[in-house]
Amino acid sequence: MGSTSITLESVKTTIADVLERQLGIAPEHSLSGAPFTELDKNFDSLTFVETQLMIEEEYGVQFDQDLVEKAERPPKNVHELAELLLPQILEGQAKAA
């Protein structure tokens, strides 16, 4: 992702792009606020982990493996996932700089 400013919107777009490549979900659908299980009825914990790994690769960071378990509740859609991941992405990139 380089030196581009990372915002909540850019993280949501990245997640939508990952879901499109991984599951064939149109970005406009994943960005609509629909729950992951509505986007793909087979979206499960393994799919979630695979998505997280692809996002790590996109940003060149490694997330806390317990990030989702530590959350008050698991993120249910792209927006909530982006809110959860943004601080970790920013922290990871600051360490790499």
> pLDDT tens digits, residue range 15-49?
999 999 999 999 999 999 999 999 999 998 888 88
What is the domain extent for residue 80? 8-96
Looking up residue 23, the CATH number of its domain turns out to be 1.10.1200
> pLDDT tens digits, residue range 50-74?
998 999 999 988 888 777 677 777 7
Query: Is 2 domain-assigned?
Result: no
Distances (CA, A) of 92 to 23, 30, 65, 86, 88: 26, 25, 14, 10, 6
Query: Is 35 domain-assigned?
Result: yes
Q: Say if pTM beats, i.e. exceeds, 0.85.
A: yes
Query: Is 32 domain-assigned?
Result: yes
Q: Name the 3-class secondary structure at 4.
A: coil
Query: Is 22 domain-assigned?
Result: yes
Query: Is 3 domain-assigned?
Result: no
Number of domains in the chain: 1
Let me know: does 74 contact 68? Beta carbons within 8 Å.
yes
